[in-house]
Structure 1
């Protein structure tokens, strides 16, 4: 494939990368605003400075490095399609775009055959596949031979984690570039560009302008669509639209949250870690983000039960009681009243003393149980309901713990011949301080019994 064409002189401040001829004003006026403002060069792309800045992977391609197959991973409206188009322009390649939602094997065959024909005439093909994660495993495999022999350079775009959604074989042949959501400053740059291109000012109060940027939620396309809605009102900037009126005009944008995909797992991870980190304010924020996004409250209740046993444990045994009570309260009240019980539980868990000692003890005990095999319990702690069992020594020498002065006999409960192991080590916080005191006293009883040669 041909490398990007180089300009005759070094680019100056504000110069563009991958220059192209802009469309005529008449053509521009008939297109939606996001399309009218589509960058003509990589240098015009707003955001993604980590990719397009000095030394970034896309900047290196603009400076002459041969393009290669890539996966663009990031949220909607961050410029993935635009960048792929500009890469093809700069490389002198044919740009072919398909969507995995609407395409099948027959469509892919046509694309590959056409790319082979171009290759024979010396022109490369950059194939942009939107929502590439929607292709199944066998469909993804169909790209491999054509990527390997250079028939196509594949640019796949996905909003989902490629590690989970794409074949390992395909990932090994493509470089993954992470596109980040646009910052508020990036969105402000887009609004300013729209005002410059249209030659008029957005008729918004400063607060309403900030609200519009917030509604965009890091999505450049959404920001421009909202901007177009505002311009369509025909309002004179001398009588600007305030925040309340803006909300009525554009309605409220649904939050960027898919409870069946990455957004779901990212936000529950954030909630869990905020609880573990004893930050009730952050925990409430992520809880509300998920509720606002349509997450099932009972799913959150189940996760809070897990937090209570994994991260709080015996430092506050009441945490598990609280989590189950919150679930029962939600079952009883339903929405929206029941969410308050869950929110209260979030605060309780975040402010409770933390210990993962029981969680770690369980893991250690499970490993030891698997390693030690199927050893029987020591006979002295087995019941002997028959004469035969008594004659075999079942129950012989058992000491009834309640009959001892300390309430603990100190006898051995592990299989005979298996070394005693200590799995549970209290964390020294909350209720576990008292548990640790008891364990020390009982350990001393066991040592004394061992010194006397007892069980």
Structure 2
């Protein structure tokens, strides 16, 4: 039985993270404690506690617990689970059906769940790493509550780490973890408790009794080379990477990318930062940048190291050499700052849902343009720059304003 399973929380006090949905006064916590729960969809990255929460809910509500993995389960497995739920009902026991990777079920398999979710025979708890609003059929979505789980903080990971050292198997080794090894372990986990526990367990079980477990030993377990890369390096290197991109220095950006990868940085973390950069620092100067960066994040879900380094390098060099503009970034900040100051414009009558008769439909006019007010003319947020595609946008805005 893996360490992560042995440490599965038995109480809410033992469950780490997700305070935004599970603290004492939150609706989900109350529904669980009052045994009034309806079906749930738990959406979040690996190792954030989706499976652990499903087990905890079953324990708290004294429900029967059935689990399927959508990667390997078939429709016949769903039917068997439903039959077991019927047996549980004869014993006056509710049934929780937990389905991991629910997004991997096709439409037919998801449809098969509907009748018994609807009639309450099962309380479905679906876990998914994909956005359920895109990966789960609407009929199942409408019958479920969706909660997003977030990566665990370093604080929570350290509490779980200390708890793990008290595990009856781990404790027999009496391991002594060097401070740098713990820090490195937290960094490698990237908010994933299961990943951290798996590394910890492997390190301890492959060590000698009372052995000091160093950063280098953990790196050996992970088969990574000893590039200095602690928490400070993590933040400093990503900062240098982004600033090199902003400064259009492709060589520097590639170097910092290489250092992050050699230090064990998560490629998905890098990809997400590139997506932000594409809109914040390039924007409409090169709209292709966001498309390319978003495609990179998709690639990280299907391709691992070492090959993903090539995709990362391609997008890094493209973004570094692309024309730069922060005009969109500045525009939304200006608009939000104006609202924060209490400037709240009323929606003009002709723009309201009920104002169709007064609204001038642009497509009915030459060039798809017609003069009408959307906000007072004195209000301006977006100021495109004279660079890249924004030069064309700037000319078009000037043309429209002259109407």
When the two structures are superposed, what TM-score results if normalisation uses the length of structure 1? 0.56
* Inter-partner Cα distance in structure 1 for 2:88 and 2:312: 59
1:192–1:201 CA distance, 2 compared to 1 (3 A): farther
**Would you say how many aligned residue pairs link Structure 1 and Structure 2?**
312
The question of 1:61 aligning with 2:31 is answered: yes
- Aligned counterpart, 1:430: 386
The question of 1:160 aligning with 2:123 is answered: no
* Inter-partner Cα distance in structure 2 for 1:116 and 1:128: 16
* Inter-partner Cα distance in structure 2 for 1:338 and 1:169: 37
- Aligned counterpart, 1:247: 219
- Aligned counterpart, 2:353: none
Native 8 Å contact 2:101 2:127 kept in 1: yes
* Inter-partner Cα distance in structure 1 for 2:150 and 2:130: 13
Offset at 1:176?
A: 0.6
What's the secondary structure of 1:103's corresponding residue? coil
* Inter-partner Cα distance in structure 2 for 1:127 and 1:171: 16
* Inter-partner Cα distance in structure 2 for 1:305 and 1:233: 43
* Inter-partner Cα distance in structure 2 for 1:341 and 1:147: 46
| Cα shift readout 1:152-181 (whole Å, capped 9, x = no counterpart) | 111111111101100111101000111111
- Aligned counterpart, 2:354: none
- Aligned counterpart, 1:125: 95
Offset at 1:305?
A: 11
Q: 2:192 is matched with which residue: 219, 239, 245? A: 219
* Inter-partner Cα distance in structure 1 for 2:370 and 2:221: 73
The question of 1:231 aligning with 2:189 is answered: no
1:109–1:43 CA distance, 2 compared to 1 (3 A): same
Pairs within 5 Å for 1:47-446: 47-198=17-168, 199=171, 202-235=175-208, 240-252=212-224, 311-312=284-285, 343-349=316-322, 352-354=324-326, 371-372=364-365, 427=383, 429-430=385-386
* Inter-partner Cα distance in structure 2 for 1:32 and 1:305: 41
Of stretches 108-117 and 67-76 in structure 1, the one that deviates more from structure 2 is 108-117
Native 8 Å contact 2:246 2:320 kept in 1: no
- Aligned counterpart, 1:451: none
Look at both structures and tell me which one has the larger radius of gyration over its CA atoms. Answer: 1
- Aligned counterpart, 2:338: none
1:354–1:41 CA distance, 2 compared to 1 (3 A): closer
1:41–1:371 CA distance, 2 compared to 1 (3 A): same
1:106–1:355 CA distance, 2 compared to 1 (3 A): same
Offset at 1:192?
A: 0.3
Native 8 Å contact 1:203 1:236 kept in 2: no
| Cα shift readout 1:222-264 (whole Å, capped 9, x = no counterpart) | 1111111221233465x633323320123359xxxxxxxxxxx
| Cα shift readout 1:362-403 (whole Å, capped 9, x = no counterpart) | xxxxx96x5458xxxxxxxxxxxxxxxxxxxxxxxxxxxxxx
What's the secondary structure of 2:68's corresponding residue? strand
* Inter-partner Cα distance in structure 2 for 1:234 and 1:290: 26
| Cα shift readout 1:319-339 (whole Å, capped 9, x = no counterpart) | 99xx9xxxxxxxxxxx98997
What's the secondary structure of 1:42's corresponding residue? coil
* Inter-partner Cα distance in structure 1 for 2:309 and 2:193: 33
1:290–1:346 CA distance, 2 compared to 1 (3 A): farther
Q: Which structure 1 segments of 5+ residues have no match?
A: 1-30, 254-273, 296-300, 324-334, 357-366, 374-413, 448-455
* Inter-partner Cα distance in structure 1 for 2:79 and 2:314: 55
Q: Which structure 2 segments of 5+ residues have no match?
A: 226-241, 269-273, 293-307, 329-360, 373-379
Of stretches 239-248 and 167-176 in structure 1, the one that deviates more from structure 2 is 239-248
1:280–1:111 CA distance, 2 compared to 1 (3 A): farther
- Aligned counterpart, 1:395: none
Offset at 1:220?
A: 1.1
Let me know the Cα RMSD of the aligned residues.
4.9
Offset at 1:149?
A: 1.0
Offset at 1:89?
A: 1.8
